[in-house]
Every structure is written in C-alpha cells, then in structure tokens.
Structure 1
Amino acid sequence: MEEKDIHVNIQTHQPAIKAAGVTRQGNNWHFETWPDMDVPHQATPLIGLANKVKLYQVTYDGPLLVHCSAGVGRTGTFIGLYSLMDVIQTRLRIDAFGYVEQMRQSRIMMVQTAAQFRFLHECLLEFYLSGDTVISAKDIASFSIHDNREKLVREYSLLAKFDKRLKKANEVLPEEADKSRFPSLLPVESKRPFIESQSNSQPNNFINACFTSSLTKKEAFIATQSPLPATVEDFWSLIYGWKCPLIVMLNPLNPKDESCCKYWTDSCPFEVGHMTLELTFQENKGFYVHRMFKISHIYEKRVMKVHRMHLKSWD
C-alpha cells in the first residue's frame, strides 16, 4: 500500500512483512527531497514528518529504524530533531550539542555537516515558536477567524523568520535586477525554471519565477511576477517552453504604472521574439475574463493553446 502524506516530498508505504508464518504490518516514511550532505529547503516538512511518525511510534514497543545512504548525516539530524522535540515540550533547557555528542558515542559522524547541525537548530526553533498549526478537517467549519486572529497574525509573522535562504538585496546581479519588479524578491535559485530563448534581445535565461508544489504534486505551479516591458518575451518563452496550459492573472492593469504592461493582444497576431501570439477566444464571465491564445514558434512545429483566467477585482 502506498500513499502521499503531509507534503508532496514525503511518501508513505505500509508493507506487509511475512516471516516464520507470521505477518506484521510495517510503516515506512520516505523523505524524497533531502540531498546527501545537505539540508532540505524548509524545516516544516521534516517537523511534520516527525510529528506523524510519533503518532505511530507510541503504539509500538519496538525501536524506530531510521536510515539514509550512510546512516549518519540525515539520519542523525532526524533522530536529533525527533528526540529533542520531546525535550522542548517537557523541559526548560535543551542541549542539541550534548545530544549530538551522545549519538556520536554510539555511531560516528551523526549529524555529518555543519549545515545539518545548523538546520537541526532551525527545525527546533520553528517547532518551539510555531507550536501546533494544524487544524483538523472536521474542525475547519467551526474555526473562528475572529477568535484566532492573534494566533494567525503570530503565525504569519513567524514565516519571515523561517525563510533563511532568500537572496539579500545586495547580492542581486545586474541582469536579475533589470528583470525584476522588486529586486529584493528573487526566486530561490534551485526552484527557478530556466528558459530557452533564441532571441539576441534576451541573452540570459533568468526569469523572476519559481516552481512550487501542491500537497500532492511536485512543481504543480509556477509563481511569477506580471511581465515588465523588457520581460514579455521571457514570460511567453516560459509558457511555451514549459508547456503551461493555463495562466491565472490576479492583478489588474494599472495605466499609471508603466512597468505593468499589457503582454497580449486583443486583435491582430502579436509577435514576441521568435513566437507569434494570437487571441482565439474571449468571454467575460463577470468577475473574470476567460481568454485563449494560440502560440506558434518560428523554429518549432509545435503550436500551443493556452487558456488564461484574468480576475478583475483583486487589487
């Protein structure tokens, strides 16, 4: 039996183990996106996994088996988090250094890198500050936004503290700043989609966009800014290159803001770089407008149809 659980990068298996005529049900959790000798991008999924495993572990007497490739770096970090989460809830002091040293008396190099040791502290800090943020599905109907306003504001304010991997404004490259409406809001490099352009007007493949996952699918979305006049070609290259079938536009066009340009045409075909864009369908649905475009490329035979839903009232 196999199912997705908690986050898209965690997979759950429930194998039936048979030995000596006895069948036992096992539970296996696989954290799929933790690179060797490194750390996950966020602490939240790993904390969620630890909490989920704890719910199962209390019903069993046997030891919890944890492994990675070598059984020291990622394994030691998870065991450290798993154990010290209980310490945070029951004691006034916590000694991550001491616990890692204790683990190393049994197995060398547990928590293998300085980055993993820092990440262990980040996880513990997030767990301590955030507390329990989960709302059960059966309670969502009775959840009061008004009564929980302070809790929600506190949770939101914590998000900025947990994101430690955004580029600083003073680290922005000139070509990135030129293509970004707000140079301080850059995509995480490992999450940024690359674009291919054969146009001399767009010599680099940077675009202010990033992949993000849903709870059930990796890279389910591409989040990006509304195109600048200088990045319209990049925008459509992204859509054509990554075969995006649907665009959701949430901002109105602001005639007072020259950077917020109209990146499509409502009449004749519109040429952008080596692509030709043509509006083939348009219908006003009241609070949004549904348009459909046809994109063709000079050097490729593939013709692509793209739907766009434009929300008119969110500003």
Structure 2
Amino acid sequence: SLCLCLCLCLSLSLSLSLSLSVCLSVCLSVCLSLSLSLSLSLSLSLSVCLSVCLSLSLSLSLSLCLSLSLSLSLSLSLSLSVSLSLSLCLSLSLSLSLSLSLQSVPLLARSPSTNRKYPPLPVDKLEEEMNRRMADDNKLFREEFNALPVCPIQASCDAASKEENKEKNRYVNILPYDHSRVHLSSLEGVPDSDFINASYINGYQEKNKFIAAQGPKEETVNDFWRMIWEQNTATIVMVTNLKERKECKCAQYWPDQGCWTYGNIRVSVEDVMVLVDYTIRKFCIQQKPQRLVTQFHFTSWPDFGVPFTPIGMLKFLKKVKTCNPQYAGPIVVHCSAGVGRTGTFIVIDAMLDMMGAERKVDVFGFVTRIRAQRCQMVQTDMQYVFIFQALLEHYLYGDTELEVTSLESHLAKLYAPLPGAGCGGLEAEFKKLTSIKIQNDKMRTGNLPANMKKNRVLQIIPYEFNRVIIPVKRGEENTDYVNASFIDGYRQKDSYMASQGPLQHTIEDFWRMIWEWRSCSIVMLTELEERGQEKCAQYWPSDGVMVCGDMSIELKREEECESYTVRDLLVTNNRENKARAVRQFHFHGWPEVGIPTDGKGMINLIAAVQKQQQQSGNHPITVHCSAGAGRTGTFCALSTVLERVKAEGILDVFQTVKSLRLQRPHMVQTLEQYEFCYKVVQEYIDAFSDYANFK
C-alpha cells in the first residue's frame, strides 16, 4: 500500500502540473504517516496538506478528489475518528476548490528549440519559404514556433493575482502584465475596481493600436463596457463564438435587440448585418453623450484548429480597417482568453501593414515583441502557420474588391494586354484561378469503387469536408453518397447544394438529398440532351406521378417564362407519410456551346429563385447542370456577387470564384464563363440609374 500510495501521489502531482517541491512534500508526508503511524492530529495535518495540494489543481474533478481520499484512508488503515476527520477536511478542501474554480488554458508541449535566427522575410521569397517550411508536416514551422520566447521579459502580474481580482480572470494562467495592462477608473468605495484582464498591444508602427482582452465573463461585462467608454473605442473585434464544444467561451455582453444598461452605460442595438463569415453589429452607447460602436464578430473560426482558408479572415480584417474611424481609441480585440486568435488577428494586421511599407514581413520578431505585452500571444503552431497563409494569399492575389462605380474602368484594364505577359488582364486573372490545386486526396468517398459509377464526370468529385451526405439505406452499404457539394453563399454557409445532373440510376439518391436537406428550390442549367449526348436524366414526371424508392414526385403545375420553365412538384416521402412542395427553375438560355448572349435571363432567374427562397424558407438551393461545375459555378458566383452588390455596393468576382473552386473542383470552368460573370454584373449595375438603388 505504501508503494501504491507513493505512485498515486507522484503521478497525480505530475499530471496536475504541480511543482517538484510539492510532489516531494506530498510523497514525504505519506511516507512519514505510514511509517510512523502518526497520531490523529498529524494525520489531520497530512489531510489538510493533501487537500490544499488537490485544491491547487483547478481542473481536478470531484470524483477524483473523493477517490484519492478514500484510497488514502484505506491504505493508511485509519481509525473511524480519523476517517471522519479526513472526510471533514476533504469537505473543506472541496469547498475551497470550488470557490477557486478557475479554468486554465491548455498550453502545448514545446519541443526543444534551436538557436536559429528568423530574420524578416522579403515578400518575393514568401511562397518559396512557405513551401519549404510546410514540408514534412510543417516541421520547420513547428521549430520556428517553438523558438518563440514564452515571455521575452521579466514581467509581474501583481494586480491580476490579487485576491479581489482572481474572479475577474477567465483563465488562471492568462494574466495581464502590470506594465501593459489597461487601467480602468476606480469606482468609489470599490477596491481594485481599476482592474480588467486586458492589455495594450502595439501595431506595426502605432503604439497601443489594439487592446487584447479576454472574452468578458458575466461578472466583468460592466467593466468591459467601462473600458470601451473610457478608451474611446469605436471598434470591437470578436474572434470567438459564445459557446464552442458546449463550453462557454464568452458571455454575451450585448442585447439581442432593444437596449440594456451595463453599470451606468446604456447600450442599444442599432443594426445587425449577418454575413457568411462574420456579423456586424452597430451599438449606440451612452453615459452622458452618446457614441457609435461597431462590433465585428468573426463566426467562421472552427472549434478546432484554424479556418480552412484565410480568404474570409482577410475580407473581415479589411472591413475592420476600413470602418474604424481615425479619431477613435484602440481597437478592442478579444477571443476567449485574448491571446490565441486575438494574437493571430493582430499579427496579420501588422504584417500586412509592414508588407505594404517595406515589402517584407517579420512574423517571428513581431510575435516576440507583442508577447512582451501579453503572454502567449499566438498560442499554437497552427495559428502561426495560418498567419503566413494569410500573408501569402494577400501577396499572390492582392486586394480584388471593387466599388460598383469603378467596375467599368476595371474591366477596361482587364481587357488591355499586359506588358510582357502575352495575354490580357482577364486571362491572367483566370490563370491564377486555374493554378489552384485540386486536392484529389480529399475525395475518398467519391472514389470508392462502389461509388465510382455514381459520378457522371470522374474529374468532378466532391471533397470530403463539404460533400452532401444522405441517410444510409437500411441494410445497404455505401448508400450515403451523392455527387453534390455544399457551397457557401453571401449571407450564410451551405446556401447551395452544387450537384451533377442525376444519372438514371442516381435519381432516387437525388430526391433523397432534396428531402433530407429540405431543399425547396432546384435550379437546372442544362437541357436533358445537348449535341446528341445525355446531360441529365429526367428526374421529374412529364405528368402524373413518378415513384423513386420511398419517394413519389408529382407534377402539379408547369409555367413557361421568358428564359426558363417553372415546375411545381409535390414530393412525398411514403415511409414518413409526409409531403413537401418543391419548385424547379429550368433555365433554357444557356446555348449548347459558349455562354448566353446577355445577362438579362440569368438576372431574372436569380431574382425568381431568391423570391422563392424568401417564401419557402432559407434551406439550401439545389443547383445543377450536367457535371455540376461550369454553369453551376457560374450561377452560384453570380448569385453571391449580385447579393453583395445590392447590400454593400461592392463586388469581388475573383475571390468569389476562388472560394467556389476551393469548395468544388472546376467551378466556373472556362474563361468565357468567368468573363460572363463580369458582364452580367456590369449589366445589372447599368440597369440602375443611380447608385442609391443598391442600398
């Protein structure tokens, strides 16, 4: 029992990250207790000692505390009175442990770093260096990240460590340094009311450009708004969701609608704009005068890791830069702990400024400097790599956003030949898109032997991460696959299901997909047969009812419009004994070769589909041509671009198509289709006599 007790104490002490001295103290106490058959009072002392050690572990569960105490009681063969005493001490220690129930941020184990130097990197070497450092599963990037000093200076956290302030810290191991912490004005009669877990952080060449803060806790929301007011902040950047993996990451510090008072600051919601990657909320805050504060809430950061592509983050960051007034105080950036994602955002901002000013970046040096202002800034090697990915994305493709008023002049430049390129600007732009690598290794399900026959074109198979999954048929394997991909729209994720035209033997799967994902709108961009070849099986009845497995499809109405046919279908799931209305828009304006002669038909089609969506609910729109890439991608691109034009008066055809191609291979398949996107947008803009109509 002595050996068992020693091992248990030692392993627990090590796993709870207690210091070596505490480990030895606990083990020595147990040894002495056992060997000397200590008296009741000494046993109680031992119990208190162990209880304090246990309470130091803020993540230790109640059951583990109980198990340890019981095992110690048994191994020590204590008398009933001693056991009762131990139980009493255990209760006290548990109460203490619960009262100090602070969380800690898990910190990655660091491998030994080298003495290598990491000087600033010229931007023209960025792609080459990225490829070199990402080889062998990011080996060199991990070495570089591990070489970062955890804390470059000797800094105290005395204010954060005060007993009065411990409850204000979300994580016990993420505390602001005294020299860089934000000081609030003291409240009369409230000791230490000047403390908030937030730190000033420098930008590229601007002192205290940012405040890096933890996500407010319920008990610190009033302090958060005091900081916003006192620092004259006009912009809040939020890089976490309120809950992730069922854990609270940040208290909701704003009202959903109307107004709410936090301390002596009144906050009212003026406007909310929800987009696919982020939400913009405008608040009117007032104490005596009133001010406008804008919150930019990035919602596309996954629970694990980093975003799939930096495109959304770069758009988000540009919006923040554009909207933050020059007169305003520091931009407040927060995630949950205020170090990982917060640091990532700040570093990308600073390095983009450095890239523009010096044509080089110094990620290692800048992270080192801001870690002297707040601990653990840029928390993981994945975040560190993501910074480089964002910088490379910006360097390779630049800023391709346009105001609608500048589209005509931009098109003139695109049609002009590029000096020394042997092609025009439009062709050069499209070549950049075709250079995006197709990730064949991420198409596992579509390439299974059982599913190969379900693909119309073997070069166009959905990626694993966003393929549309349908329920497995009872007793049949490999029946969850359909050649279709979820595609993000302007305002929400998974706005579209980009699908191939059904084959005769996949019609049932197509309708199972429609039913499972509650799609009420189908956009068909091909004829059943073109140039003597089947492009799509007829998956609806010409009249009467068509039965496909458990699904019955009935044609209720058919109407010919100028460039498309509308078919109203009643889809019944016979197994569930439920029915739904589905509307199909069959576009006839796409010629067998080339592209439509004008954009009017496509503009009208998009408007009709959007109206149908408003009436039927915003479930995914099913879009298909034959292979589900060329015309399908063009429709998705135009729908997204035109919606943004209406909402913001801004367009970005290049990045919209690039994003589509990252979600499904060959979306917007030809240069002609890419040019058509620009032409339709220009035609749409020309249809308005003045810009005010976009608002």
Structure 2 CA distance for partners of 1:246 and 1:157, relative to 1, 3 Å: same
5+ unaligned residues in a row in structure 2: which ranges?
A: 1-269, 416-423, 593-695
Q: Is 1:168 the equivalent of 2:441?
A: yes
2:414 is matched with which residue? 148
Structure 2 CA distance for partners of 1:17 and 1:162, relative to 1, 3 Å: farther
1:248 is matched with which residue? 523
Contact map agreement 2:442 2:463 (CA 8 A) in 1: no
Structure 2 CA distance for partners of 1:242 and 1:170, relative to 1, 3 Å: closer
Match of 2:568 among 284, 292, 295: 292
Q: Which moved more, 1:266-275 or 1:103-112?
A: 103-112
Question: Partner of 2:469: helix, strand, or coil?
Answer: coil
> Which amino acid in 2 is paired with 1:132?
D
Match of 2:298 among 19, 26, 31: 31
Q: Is 1:307 the equivalent of 2:575?
A: no
Task: Provide TM-score, normalisation by structure 1.
Answer: 0.86
Shift of 1:136: 0.9
Structure 1 segment 73-222 matched on structure 2, within 5 A = 73-140=340-407, 142-143=408-409, 145-149=411-415, 150-160=424-434, 166-168=439-441, 171=444, 172-196=447-471, 198=473, 203-222=478-497
5+ unaligned residues in a row in structure 1: which ranges?
A: none
Q: For 1:1-49, what per-residue CA distance to the aligned partner results, in whole angstroms no more than 9, with x for missing partners?
A: 23326x4221112223334x34332221000121244222332221111
Structure 2 CA distance for partners of 1:32 and 1:163, relative to 1, 3 Å: farther
Q: For 1:157-177, what per-residue CA distance to the aligned partner results, in whole angstroms no more than 9, with x for missing partners?
A: 33455678x443785433453
1-structure distance, mates of 2:333, 2:523: 42
2-structure distance, mates of 1:251, 1:301: 32
Shift of 1:106: 3.1
Structure 2 CA distance for partners of 1:23 and 1:139, relative to 1, 3 Å: same
Question: Partner of 2:277: helix, strand, or coil?
Answer: strand
Q: Which moved more, 1:302-311 or 1:149-158?
A: 149-158
**Count of aligned pairs:** 311
Structure 2 CA distance for partners of 1:177 and 1:104, relative to 1, 3 Å: farther
1:265 is matched with which residue? 541
> Which amino acid in 1 is paired with 2:359?
L
Shift of 1:124: 0.9
Structure 2 CA distance for partners of 1:125 and 1:176, relative to 1, 3 Å: farther
Contact map agreement 2:442 2:464 (CA 8 A) in 1: no
Structure 2 CA distance for partners of 1:258 and 1:215, relative to 1, 3 Å: closer
Contact map agreement 2:305 2:382 (CA 8 A) in 1: yes
Q: Which moved more, 1:99-108 or 1:264-273?
A: 99-108
Structure 2 CA distance for partners of 1:124 and 1:58, relative to 1, 3 Å: farther
Contact map agreement 1:283 1:291 (CA 8 A) in 2: yes
Q: Which moved more, 1:297-306 or 1:149-158?
A: 149-158
> Which amino acid in 1 is paired with 2:538?
K
Structure 2 CA distance for partners of 1:126 and 1:237, relative to 1, 3 Å: same
Contact map agreement 1:228 1:260 (CA 8 A) in 2: yes
1:235 is matched with which residue? 510
Structure 2 CA distance for partners of 1:163 and 1:26, relative to 1, 3 Å: farther
1-structure distance, mates of 2:477, 2:570: 22
Question: Partner of 2:291: helix, strand, or coil?
Answer: strand
Match of 2:313 among 46, 55, 61: 46
Contact map agreement 1:167 1:184 (CA 8 A) in 2: no
Structure 2 CA distance for partners of 1:118 and 1:181, relative to 1, 3 Å: farther
2:283 is matched with which residue? 15
Contact map agreement 2:271 2:281 (CA 8 A) in 1: yes
Q: Is 1:275 the equivalent of 2:545?
A: no
Q: For 1:172-224, what per-residue CA distance to the aligned partner results, in whole angstroms no more than 9, with x for missing partners?
A: 43345343333443334343333225465674312222222322233322211
Contact map agreement 1:253 1:261 (CA 8 A) in 2: yes
Question: Partner of 1:147: helix, strand, or coil?
Answer: helix
> Which amino acid in 1 is paired with 2:411?
I
Contact map agreement 1:37 1:73 (CA 8 A) in 2: no
Q: Which moved more, 1:36-45 or 1:85-94?
A: 36-45
Structure 2 CA distance for partners of 1:134 and 1:204, relative to 1, 3 Å: same
Q: For 1:214-267, what per-residue CA distance to the aligned partner results, in whole angstroms no more than 9, with x for missing partners?
A: 222333222111112332111101112222111110022237545732222213
Structure 2 CA distance for partners of 1:4 and 1:203, relative to 1, 3 Å: same
Shift of 1:88: 1.2
> Which amino acid in 1 is paired with 2:272?
E
Q: Is 1:63 the equivalent of 2:330?
A: yes
For the aligned residue pairs, the C-alpha RMSD in angstroms reads 2.8
Contact map agreement 1:297 1:303 (CA 8 A) in 2: yes
> Which amino acid in 1 is paired with 2:351?
L
Q: Which moved more, 1:114-123 or 1:77-86?
A: 114-123
> Which amino acid in 1 is paired with 2:516?
G
Shift of 1:286: 4.8
Contact map agreement 2:443 2:464 (CA 8 A) in 1: no
> Which amino acid in 2 is paired with 1:29?
F
% identity of equivalent residues = 31
Q: Is 1:4 the equivalent of 2:4?
A: no
2-structure distance, mates of 1:37, 1:264: 42
Task: Provide TM-score, normalisation by structure 2.
Answer: 0.41
Question: Partner of 1:291: helix, strand, or coil?
Answer: strand
Q: Which has the higher helix share?
A: 2
Shift of 1:56: 3.1
Contact map agreement 1:176 1:183 (CA 8 A) in 2: no
> Which amino acid in 2 is paired with 1:284?
E
Q: Which has the higher strand share?
A: 1
Question: Partner of 2:498: helix, strand, or coil?
Answer: strand
Structure 2 CA distance for partners of 1:169 and 1:46, relative to 1, 3 Å: closer
